[in-house]
Amino acid sequence: MKRWRTLETVDTLEGVLQLRQRGQQEFLITIDGRVLMTSSERRSEQALATKACALIADREAPRVLIGGLGMGYTLRAALEALPASSEVVVAELTPTVEAWCRGPLSPLTDGAVLDPRVRIVIDDVSEVIRAASPGHYDAIMLDLYEGPNVASQSVNDPFYGRAALQRSHTALAKGGVLAVWSEDPDDDFARRFAAAGFETSIHRISGKAHLVYFGRR
């Protein structure tokens, strides 16, 4: 079996981020030595986008915000489910990740970042949500490292805390959707999610601990 080779390493606030490749089309991204995502395991990211977009399928020109670019699989799934009139903003903290998606990872998603509907913003998605005018987005998808967990129980957590959920609620149009990817179930988050005024549901990925929380405004 071919061995993994490191294509690039970059320092981030969360630790050392690496892009590795094996063969022609097998990739993985690690952070501090831990596997963050792989090109072969993408069902949960695709489910996040496909199911969220299905809930706004009646919109003529939907505006969508995705938090976290990753390998671009969430973005590609959203683009396939959205009309040509849609606008998709992707908030990504690390410029190198965007460069990877425009470079060696581009064939995995047929160049999703190059789609004319897409605008990449190098910023924290929590700040993009904070700056949004009320009712601006039809869907917000948070595809972030680990998702809600014990460490994110703080009232002031920028993504999953009570105030953050209220900001997302405000940034969504009536009937809009907040979709949150999670590595593991988090009952406390589920309760906060519902308490923020969302009509909530959970989609579990078959054979995986990963799941997606959906909230309808």
List Cβ neighbours of 23 (8 Å cut-off, separation of 6 or more). 2
For residue 127, count other CB atoms closer than 10 A to its CB: 12
Q: Is the pTM of this model over 0.85?
A: yes
Phi, psi torsion values for 108, nearest 5 degrees: -65, -30
Q: Tell me what pLDDT residue 25 has.
A: 86
Look at residue 110 and tell me whether its pLDDT is greater than 70: yes
Q: Tell me what pLDDT residue 91 has.
A: 98
Domain extents for the chain? 41-216
Q: Tell me what pLDDT residue 170 has.
A: 98
More confident residue, 182 or 208: 182
Confidence of residue 147 (pLDDT cuts 50, 70, 90): confident
In the CATH scheme, what is the code of domain 41-216?
Answer: 3.40.50.150
Strand order in the sheet with 34-38: 5-12, 15-22, 26-31, 34-38
Q: Cα(48)–Cα(214) distance, rounded to whole angstroms?
A: 9
Q: What whole-number percentage of the chain has pLDDT above 70?
A: 96
> pLDDT (tens digit, 9 = 90+) per residue, 151-179?
656 778 999 999 999 999 999 999 999 99
| Per-chain mean pLDDT for the chain | 93
The first and second tokens of residue 216, run together, are 């309808």
Q: Cα(128)–Cα(123) distance, rounded to whole angstroms?
A: 7
Average pLDDT over residues 133-140: 98
Q: Where are the alpha helices (DSSP H) in the chain?
A: 43-54, 73-81, 95-102, 125-131, 162-171, 187-195
Q: For residue 92, which of 68, 109, 71 has the smallest C-alpha distance?
A: 68
Look at residue 87 and tell me whether its pLDDT is greater than 90: yes
Average pLDDT over residues 14-34: 92
Look at residue 208 and tell me whether its pLDDT is greater than 80: no
Average pLDDT over residues 24-51: 91
Q: Tell me what pLDDT residue 2 has.
A: 82
Look at residue 183 and tell me whether its pLDDT is greater than 90: no
Report whether 20 contacts 4 (CB < 8 A): yes
Q: Cα(18)–Cα(94) distance, rounded to whole angstroms?
A: 12
List Cβ neighbours of 123 (8 Å cut-off, separation of 6 or more). 91, 92, 93
> pLDDT (tens digit, 9 = 90+) per residue, 115-135?
999 999 999 999 999 999 999
